[in-house]
Amino acid sequence: MTDIVRGSEDISCVSAATNAVSTGAVSVANGANNTTSLLPQEKSLVKLTHIQKSYGNVCVLQSISLHINAGEVVAIIGPSGSGKSTLLRCATLLETFQSGTLAYGDLVVAKNDAHGHAIYAPKSVLKEAKSRFGLVFQSFNLFPHCSVLHNVTDAAIRVQKRNRDEVMTQAHALLAKMGLSGKEKMVPCELSGGQQQRVAIARALALNPSILFFDEPTSALDPELTRDVLKVIRDLAAENMTMAIVTHEMSFARDVADRIIFMEAGVIVEQGTASELINNPQHMRTKTFLSHYA
Amino acid sequence: MDLTLILAMLGEGFLVSLQIFILTLLGSLPLGLLVAFGRMSRIKPLSWLVQIYISIMRGTPLMLQLMVVYYLPYFGFGISISDNYRFIATIIAFVINYAAYFAEIYRSGIQSIPHGQYEAAGVLGYSRSQTFIFIVFLQVVKRILPAVTNEVITLVKDTSLSFVLSVPEMFTTAKAIAAAQKSMIAFAVAGVFYYVFNAIVAFIMNRVEKIMDYYHD
Ligand SMILES: Nc1ncnc2c1ncn2[C@@H]1O[C@H](COP(=O)(O)OP(=O)(O)OP(=O)(O)O)[C@@H](O)[C@H]1O
Ligand SMILES: [Mg+2]
């Protein structure tokens, strides 16, 4: 395989994109606590610009633009099938998109060629990009045969080739922060779902990412177990960790997010500060969606 | 001929059977993994070739495969075969036969690993080979152990098929003794040998399964 992956041509997506409501991050925000998105674009930790993604003929993302600034917490909401997971999967290189630009800081992961096809950077660049973000899955995806400590430390040691003692010290501190001290030697199946998800968060943090993505981190959990996971995310937000969180927990999104993005049918319909978007949605579709959570 | 002598002769044959058993496992377990990769390869012609190989190995008698491997150099290519080729041909036939079976077991194990494991590893920056070696393989081993145990137990019994090439393993020896003595005793003793050997194999595999029981998913 060559180092360059070329997205396949897709006409349906291109035509649909012209109708897209999406305007990108910089266009909103006059809310009081949303000053971050007014910062110059260069400060963005991650820049997704005009992303188009389709599966076969089905266009799933239609010219989505999303720039996330350092220290910002972005919540992504929207009905099932609107493309929220796909957006995170494109940002975390689990999926390739056909058109658009993706950059982590100064590191350009993919950009369009003259024909508007996304061209991905060589593997070495992709590998470096992977050290800049972390992803927490709905289903945890811990390595079941490895101890908690091994889950948290292995990638830092094996992939990032960092000093073992330093990684161990960091891992113990992270696990303590997650309320998991004393569980280092256990294997995931001995933990509750909420504990497993917190191990997964520690595992992602151990690589010192500049941004952490969450795809419905509490959807697989019983209500009483979600609380601890949400608390951990709140704590991270208080420490100015940059995060993008796909969630159905509306009150959590309102509390923790600096900006809420409402997606539907592969476009960003509306975005704004938490209070703006939830208390005063501008679009009919946003109102309809939010009414289900009233 | 007294029982001690029978035991001594069969014991000697057993050592040959044991050699076939061990060499077959040492060859076919790694080869099977390679074959499984070939079978799952995205290079279609390679995958097809490997599928044909697997279907032939599973669809024809091992005894016939032993004969073909032994006689092919002579009848196929006119190469004269030396006497110690008997043992080599036996090992070759067993290895390529069992590799086909192990390949299918590996494949089912590899394909049963949830996709999320690969995705988690990918996001953490593991390369494809690192993902397989450090994350997927041990989980595969746990999942395929029962199926592997079955094959290994079958292999213990299958070593007796090498009598068709007159390799002096335990069954060949037992047959010779029985013919000379006009008695079933040698067969009975050989049966006990096979049975005890398999009991040991089952015990060991059971221990390995217990060790892997430290987690479940
Ligand atoms: N691998 C795939 N192949 C084909 N279509 C897919 C694939 N993955 C997702 N889709 C389609 O893409 C669309 C967006 O899916 P996505 O999972 O991103 O939605 P979502 O917003 O995360 O929904 P949910 O809230 O249910 O998780 C859906 O219509 C889905 O059917
Ligand atoms: Mg989803």
Determine whether the shortest distance from the Cβ of A266 to ligand 1 is under 6 A. Answer: no
pLDDT value of residue A22: 38
In whole angstroms, give the CA distance from residue B122 to residue A201.
Answer: 16
What domains are defined for chain B? Answer: 3-214 (1.10.3720.10)
Considering the domain boundaries, does residue A6 fall inside one? yes
pLDDT value of residue B76: 84
Determine whether the shortest distance from the Cβ of A36 to ligand 1 is under 6 A. Answer: no
Q: How far apart are the first and last CA of chain A?
A: 51
Lowest mean pLDDT among A30-44, A54-68, B24-38, B45-59: A30-44
Amino acid of residue A270: E
The protein residue whose alpha carbon is closest to atom 8 in ligand 1 is A86
Q: Would the CB atoms of A137 and B134 count as touching at under 8 Å?
A: no
Distance from CA of A137 to the nearest CA of B (A): 8
Considering the domain boundaries, does residue A142 fall inside one? no
The enclosing domain of A57 has a CATH number of 3.40.50.300
Is residue A68 a contact partner of residue A25, using CB atoms and an 8 Å limit? Answer: yes
Q: Would the CB atoms of B126 and A155 count as touching at under 8 Å?
A: yes
Considering the domain boundaries, does residue A39 fall inside one? yes
Lowest mean pLDDT among A27-36, A108-117, A155-164: A27-36
In whole angstroms, give the CA distance from residue B88 to residue B66.
Answer: 10
More confident site: A269 or A36: A269
Which of A130, A139, A145 minimises the CB distance to B138? A145
Read off the pLDDT of residues A179-212 as tens digits, 9 standing for 90 and up.
Answer: 999 999 999 999 999 999 999 999 999 999 999 9
A142 CB neighbours in chain B (<8 A) are: 120
Amino acid of residue B215: Y
The protein residue whose alpha carbon is closest to atom 24 in ligand 1 is A80
Considering the domain boundaries, does residue A42 fall inside one? yes
Considering the domain boundaries, does residue A165 fall inside one? no
In whole angstroms, give the CA distance from residue A54 to residue B60.
Answer: 47
Reported for A154-162, long-range contacts at CB under 8 A and 24+ positions apart, including other chains, are: A154/B134, A155/A203, A155/A206, A155/A207, A155/B124, A155/B125, A155/B126, A156/A206, A156/A207, A158/B126, A158/B130, A158/B134, A159/A131, A159/A207, A159/B124, A159/B125, A159/B126, A159/B130, A160/A131, A160/A207, A160/B125
In whole angstroms, give the CA distance from residue A87 to residue B170.
Answer: 64
Considering the domain boundaries, does residue A199 fall inside one? no
In whole angstroms, give the CA distance from residue A290 to residue A184.
Answer: 41
The protein residue whose alpha carbon is closest to atom 13 in ligand 1 is A81
Considering the domain boundaries, does residue A179 fall inside one? no
Neighbours of B23 (CB within 10 A): 17
Q: Residue B53: enclosing H or E segment and its boundaries?
A: helix B44-59
Instruction: With cut-offs at 50, 70 and 90, classify the pLDDT of residue A30.
Output: very low
Contacts of residue B16, Cβ cutoff 8 Å, sequence gap at least 6: B87, B167, B168, B169, B170
Q: Token pair for residue A129?
A: 């990009």
Is residue A234 predicted with pLDDT exceeding 60? yes
Considering the domain boundaries, does residue A21 fall inside one? yes
- Three state DSSP letters for A48-74: EEEEEEEECCEEEEEEEEEEEECCCEE
Reported ipTM: the value is 0.88
Q: Which residues pair with A244 in a beta bridge?
A: A74, A213
In whole angstroms, give the CA distance from residue A61 to residue A83.
Answer: 6
Q: For testing the chain A interface, which of B119, B123, B138 should be mutated: the one with the most A CBs within 10 Å?
A: B123
Residue by residue, pLDDT tens for chain B (217 residues) are 688 999 999 999 999 999 999 999 999 999 999 999 999 999 999 999 999 999 999 999 999 999 999 999 888 888 888 888 999 999 999 999 999 999 999 999 999 999 999 999 999 999 999 999 999 999 999 999 999 999 999 999 999 999 999 999 999 999 999 999 998 999 999 999 999 999 999 999 999 999 999 999 8
pLDDT value of residue A92: 96
| Domains of chain A: total | 1
The number of the ligand 1 atom at minimal distance from the alpha carbon of A88 is: 18
Q: Which residues pair with A75 in a beta bridge?
A: A245, A260
Is residue A44 predicted with pLDDT exceeding 80? yes
The number of the ligand 1 atom at minimal distance from the alpha carbon of A86 is: 18
The number of the ligand 1 atom at minimal distance from the alpha carbon of A266 is: 14
A94 CB neighbours in chain B (<8 A) are: 119, 122-123
Determine whether the shortest distance from the Cβ of A81 to ligand 1 is under 6 A. Answer: yes
Domain that holds residue A6: 2-132+210-291
* A205 SS3 class: helix
Is residue A100 a contact partner of residue A60, using CB atoms and an 8 Å limit? Answer: no
Question: What are B's interface residues with A at a Cβ cutoff of 8 A?
Answer: 114, 116-117, 119-120, 122-126, 130, 134-135, 138-139, 142, 214-217
